[in-house]
Structure 1
Amino acid sequence: MPRPRCQQISVTETPYYHVVSRCVRRTFLCGQDHATGKCFDHRRQWIEDRIRLLASLFALEVAAYAVMSNHYHLVVKLEPAQAEQWSDDEVLRRWSCLFKGPLLVQRYLAGASQESYELSQVAEFAQCYRRRLADLSWFMKCLNEPIARQANREDGCSGHFWEARFKSQALRTEAALLSCMAYVDLNPVRAGMAATPETSAHTSIWERITPRFNLAQAVREQMQLDALLRFDGKVKPLLHFEGAWVQEEQTGLPFAFEDYLALVDDTGRAIDPRKKGAIANALPPILQRLGLNPEQWLDQSTQFEASYRQQRRRSAA
């Protein structure tokens, strides 16, 4: 019998979790359906944008993700201490980006005068929402339900879109975290959907490598949700790489980005008979494919990680 979710997730044991959610009957509801000829590939962008929107509102960090044709993977780091640092007003504003909330909360956020007993009730709502904004199950609920409703409206039907509740796996060691992230980022390569990690759209490694559109603007346009703009207009970046050792308290991934890229590239070249694809051995190493020599890459990766630290300090200020 499956264990309750509260018994599977314990931040005191590990903050890192691998999450998987699959479409009903594993059909290609987010890709090219070979049986019907219909293409639902645009829904992959829905999921990617929703992930980044929710990560900006919840007390968690996204370390890796891959949105496939009939499922998606997430590697997240839970940060309940972040939620404890938020004021009640900030908690209510974050929650109101997703739900209207009770009339008492709506009136409070609108600046209406309230009696003491009403303010006490608003404070209770804030504590409830604080717990939810640090909860992985609520994150997944806010991710999967809107996508299912949006897809059903597009298809003109009703019923389940996801085959079951999401599956979660605790990543208790650095080796487990590293191997899981590489597995997630290599999903399109293994499925034969892409030849290399840098061409694997809708993955975290593609986002980290490829200079592209302004993510904050894209989320607001794709989701047609201006509540985030009213909140602070910021979209949280992916969890940064810090290297194996830093002098200050380590808040990011405990390895260097260039080492991670090399690991993904080497792992992707290994041929797995159970999978469709692999990185061709004839291809040069990934740093050469990106047009970078080791010295250039060292400079760029150092600046990349430093910019993430700066963004985190600004958001915490």
Structure 2
Amino acid sequence: MPRMARVVLPHFPHHVVQRGHNRQVVFAGDEDYERYLEDLRELSSVLEVRVYAYCLMTNHVHLLLGPGEEVAAMGRLMKALAARATRYRNRLEGRSGTLWEGRYKSSPVQTETYLLACARYIELNPVRARMVVAPGDYAWSSYRQRMGEAECWLDLDPAYLDLGRSGPERRLRYARFVQEGVPENELTLMREALQRGQLTGNDRFVDEVEQIIGSRIERRRPGRPASRGA
């Protein structure tokens, strides 16, 4: 069966996941994480793709990206990130071959309803994986930037900015929002949307996207379930 074409929408956030080939480790030490984040910061600026959230796990990455009018820029960003990490790893280990799965997964996200929830989902990944107790304990997600505990180069999304009139007010409200955890229905929606290339949003968002692209993206029947650590 031919795979579904990836849907990328201009000026919409997209939840993106890329995994290591055969789920192999892609970040073996601090320098690996640091290099990837430096590349993400540089390339996203050059390609004019907004970065709203990220979390680098041992064998995969979660990104919340916002392409501008040129939607192909998001694909170029992911390709360049993967290529740089692969060259670095191959040179370091004296090997050749691929580091990542050939095709990353992505899902357009409904801004007003799920954007903030998607950022929370991403930044709580290491907590769900029981790597840390609290999101602020993990060095390789965007949570510390958002909380003012690290240099912030994130693009602050409109949903986050709407949390308050000042930085401290936003941080306090977001921290409380994250402490609530991800409801099971949101967890299921986001995992399934990524797994099947669907939309992260409600029926109104499905209607809105249909008007933009001229075809309807309905929820498809479940296939292979996503892994628990996704």
Q: Do they superpose with TM above 0.5? A: yes
In structure 1, the partner of 2:104 is 166
**Deviation at residue 3 of structure 1 after TM alignment:** 2.2
1:173 is displaced (CA, Å) by 4.2
Using the TM superposition, give the Cα deviation of residue 257 of structure 1 relative to its aligned residue in structure 2, in angstroms: 4.0
Alignment of 1:1-317 (within 5 A): 1-5=2-6, 8-11=7-10, 15-31=12-28, 40-80=29-69, 135-212=73-150, 237-240=153-156, 241-243=160-162, 256-267=170-181
Letter in 1 for 2:12: P
Which ranges in structure 1 are unaligned for 5 or more consecutive residues?
Answer: 32-39, 81-130, 216-236, 247-254, 271-317
2:155 maps to a residue whose letter is L
Question: 1:29: Cα distance to partner?
Answer: 2.8
Q: Given that residues 20 and 72 in structure 1 are in contact (C-alpha distance below 8 angstroms), is that contact kept between their aligned partners in structure 2?
A: yes
Mark the runs of 5 or more structure 2 residues left unpaired by the alignment: 185-230
Query: Could you tell me whether the CA contact under 8 Å between 1:64 and 1:204 is conserved in 2?
Result: yes
Deviation at 1:164, TM superposition (A): 2.2
Q: Give the aligned CA root-mean-square deviation in angstroms.
A: 2.6
Q: Distance in 1 between matches of 2:104 and 2:86?
A: 14
Residue deviations 1:169-218 (CA, integer Å, cap 9, x gap): 11024222122111100011111111111111111112222534x67xxx
CA distance in 2, matches of 1:176, 1:269: 12
Which of these two proteins has the greater Rg computed from alpha carbons?
1
Output the amino acid matched with 2:22: R
Tell me, yes or no, if the aligned pair for 2:55 and 2:125 is still in contact at 8 Å: yes
Q: Deviations over 1:137-160 (max 9, x none)?
A: 111111111111111111110011
Aligned amino acid, residue 174 of structure 2: Y
Q: Is the 8 A contact 1:244 1:256 kept in 2?
A: yes
CA contact (8 A) 1:62 1:75 kept: yes
Residues 13 and 111 of structure 2 are in contact (CA less than 8 Å); yes or no, is this contact kept in structure 1? no
Counterparts of 1:261 and 1:144, CA distance in 2: 31
Q: Distance in 1 between matches of 2:131 and 2:36?
A: 18
What SS is found at the alignment partner of 2:64? strand
Moved beyond 4 Å, runs of 4+? none
Assess, with a 3 A threshold, how the Cα gap between structure 1 residues 63 and 145 changes in structure 2: closer, same or farther.
same
Q: Which moved more, 1:140-149 or 1:52-61?
A: 52-61
Whether the aligned pair in 2 keeps the contact of 1:23 and 1:29 (CA below 8 Å) is yes
Question: What is the alpha-carbon distance in structure 1 between the residues aligned to residue 91 and residue 27 of structure 2?
Answer: 14
Secondary structure of 1:158's counterpart equals coil
Q: Answer whether contact 2:163 2:173 (CA < 8 A) is retained.
A: no
Q: Percent identity?
A: 30
Moved more, 65-74 or 174-183: 174-183
2: CA distance, partners of 1:153 / 1:245 = 46
Residues 8-42 of structure 1, C-alpha deviations (whole Å, 9 max, x = no match): 1122xx611000010111122313xxxxxxxx343
CA offsets, 1:40-81, max 9 Å, x none?
A: 34312221111111122122211100001000000012222x
**Matched AA of 1:258:** L
The alignment partner of 1:194 has SS state of: coil
| Distance in 1 (alpha carbons) for counterparts of 2:172 and 2:94 | 46
Tell me the residue number matched to 2:204: none
Q: Secondary structure of the residue that 1:64 maps to in structure 2?
A: strand
Check conservation: 1:44, 1:68, Cα contact below 8 A: no
Q: Is the 8 A contact 1:19 1:169 kept in 2?
A: yes
For structure 1, which segment, 48-57 or 202-211, has the greater mean C-alpha deviation from structure 2 after superposition? 202-211
Q: Note if contact 2:12-2:111 (Cα within 8 Å) is conserved in structure 1.
A: no
Aligned length: 177
